[in-house]
Amino acid sequence: MAKEILKITGMHCAACSARVEKVVGKMEGVEKVSVNLATEKATVFFDPDTVSLSSIVEKIEKTGYVAVSFTEMTVVDEDKLRKEKEIQALWDKFIVSAFFAVPLLYIAMGPMIWWLNFPIPSFLAPMQYPLNYAIVQIALTLPILIAGRNFYTDGFRAIINRSPNMDSLIAMGTSAAVLYSSYSVYQITAGNFGAVDNMYFETAGVIITLILLGKSLEAVSKGKTSDAIKKLIGLAPKTAVVIKDNREYEVPIDEVETGYIILVRPGEKIPVDGVVLEGITSVDESMLTGESIPVEKKAGDQVYAASINKNGMIRFEASKVGGDTALAQIIKLVEEAQGSKAPIAKMADIVSGYFVPVVFVIAVLAAAAWLIAGESLVFSLTIFISVLVIACPCALGLATPTAIMVATGKGAEHGILIKGGEALETTHKIDTVIFDKTGTITEGRPEVTDVITVGEIGRNELLQLAASAEKGSEHPLAEAIVKKAEGGGQEMLAIDRFEAIPGYGIEVEIGGRNILLGNSRLMDIRNISRTELSDRSDTLAGEGKTPMYVAADGKLAGIIAVADVVKSSSIDAINMLRSMGIEVAMITGDNRRTAEAIAKQVGITRVLSEVLPQDKSNEVKKLQAEGKKVAMVGDGINDAPALVQADIGIAIGSGTDVAIESADIVLMRSDLMGVPAAVRLSKSTIRNIKQNLFWAFGYNVIGIPIAAGFFHLFGGPLLNPIFAAAAMSLSSVSVLTNALRLKSFRPLG
């Protein structure tokens, strides 16, 4: 099954996107298609053996839209430029139409508002020179109609294709006004000067002008919803300094290949992903992780494209370039998320599919009803135009995707990558979070936590002897001891003899001294009393730590305790989740004693210990069987099945590629505060979407009856078509403006 993202231009409302989905979805070989009005993208899943991409594109274009492939990053830049041109073109059209609409409205309405005494040139007096009056209105209206010609070409084409949209409503409404006014002009030429009162050129002109204004504001707002993507793309440097034959060459970023040696000076951006070969520096990776504190980098460490080299010069070998870099993958992920649909959008999609035909029927029936009731043709025409113009499927179509666009972009800014609208929506329903222990709640690497001495050997000497003994070992506990000693500036001592004792520990000779390092059983078989530290050892073990005894020349010297320490953010994150009413559990393969010790530290009461990797997903199923909405948070390959099984899988960005691929949400920082932040973002987004949908539905539920004259039956107002146009434009802009409020989201505020 192939997946392709298409850029579709020419869509103006939800009816357009629904039409594309319907037409493409019916094609043989197309499994699924999702069209996002806000991003103007269609995500198509299809069988390339049954249907080709070119035939899908052709089908879309026959429907009246333009479709192009959207697979390369460079296209994003092109799309940005196209958007900017589109916004400028809309503003230009609005300025032209407004230039002619203002005098048109003045001339048309001036004689009617006699109490304001607007001065009208004598040769345009409607009663004395009705033909002059009519010709000037026609002359002012024509440029406006030309500026808004797309409404007519797209609107009537959509009707011919049996997929009427918002442009169709505008085209029909304003065309009715212009045609009726033209008939009145004909009557004037025939000598019926009273027909001068039946001209509605200003209605058509002002409606088009107001809608062009609304479209311009809408396009600007839409552009702001994708600011996150634009920022990410703008981060990537355009060139790189490559080292060849000990010489420096500045080359375009597109020419950099894996294996190239790249030089980065202080203050410069890192052009591609790679591994440091020479130099020590600190790197600002906030664009990837959201973490503002620079990360120290030395030989062997990973560096990422678009991160900023702060204070040292480094050389590194390029490992990932182009679309394979971490930045490119993030951009791709965010784009796909922004192009996706949330389940909550289905209702709006269904309504939008029937919206335009229903509105047209209402307009015809309302106009006919008033005509039958004895009202004039002019009155009925006003009703017809008002109903067509006030209806706004745009607001319905934009309600969900704009909120998702802003939310996923905002999440990316804070190192929270959400893979789609469905994940974003489901997250707000989560009532149980299961954390993996190792590497998730804890750092995932052992550290020395306690150094306890007895006898004459001091703390630093004990650590030095233990580290020297373990220097050659690759065991994680040994590495922790060595790292602790080296971090304290301890010098490693030469070893004269080394013997591993499997299951117990090691025995070495250092400077003529016999050193034993291992578990309690090693001390027992060598008849070394550990009475002094026995209780302390049990206490350490009860805290989830691994105590290792050290003996020198047959006497107990002390204990070095090593543990996988809890992350600094774990306690705060878990407390925050609990304050949100979310149950928290921990799952681990460790023994119950160690697991409960860690759980106690972070405030977790529900512990699932001694769980085999393959059984983690079963534990998730058990909780789901209790009716719970479960989120699983993990970092390892062994967590992948559970991440998939959970309603929402959340992977720690420092984890394995398999875990990240299996997850619905990726936290780029190894910081569990991202979990409550993701839940808060989801809740804020869903609340925003519901507000948008309420406004969009409410606007049409109230506006259409007013336009149809329902309230006029009881002495209420009759809606002027000009005010209907203003209200329609306002509705779309209001929905977009509300969605943009999500840009103020703060993870903890």
Q: Which residues are catalytic?
A: 436
Helices marked H in 414-530:
421-427, 459-470, 476-487, 520-525
Tokens standing for 743? 């840009």
- Element containing residue 338 per DSSP (H, E): helix 326-338
Tokens standing for 555? 């006497």
The amino acid present at 54, given as its one-letter code, is: S
Q: Considering only CA atoms, which of 736, 739, 746, 628 is closest in space to residue 680? A: 746
Residue 250 near residue 239 (C-beta atoms within 8 A): yes
Q: Considering only CA atoms, which of 219, 209, 208 is closest in space to residue 87? A: 219
CA pair distance 608, 599, nearest whole angstrom? 10
Residue with tokens 């981060």: 235
Cα–Cα distances in Å, from 511 out to 3, 85, 494, 554? 67, 78, 8, 15
Residue with tokens 């959340």: 650
Please provide the distance, in angstroms rounded to a whole number, between the alpha carbons at the two ends of the chain.
43
CA angle 76, 80, 82 (to 5 degrees): 110
Tokens standing for 120? 């009208």
Helix axis angle, 592-602 to 570-579, nearest 10°:
70
Residue 609 near residue 596 (C-beta atoms within 8 A): yes
Residue 312 near residue 266 (C-beta atoms within 8 A): yes
CA angle 583, 586, 590 (to 5 degrees): 165
Q: Phi/psi class of residue 415: alpha, beta or left (left: φ > 0; alpha: ψ in -120 to 50)?
A: left
HSE value, Cβ hemisphere, 13 Å, CA-based, for 706: 19
Tokens standing for 748? 């903890």
Cα–chain center distance at 283: 25
Residue 459 near residue 451 (C-beta atoms within 8 A): yes
Mapping DSSP onto H, E and C, the string for 263-313 reads EECCCCECCCEEEEEECCEEEECHHHHCCCCCEEECCCCEECCCCEECCCC
Helices marked H in 512-579:
520-525, 531-542, 570-579
CA pair distance 116, 122, nearest whole angstrom? 17
DSSP state of 6: E
CA pair distance 86, 88, nearest whole angstrom? 5
CA pair distance 282, 300, nearest whole angstrom? 14
Q: What is the phi/psi pair of residue 316, to 5°?
A: -140, 160
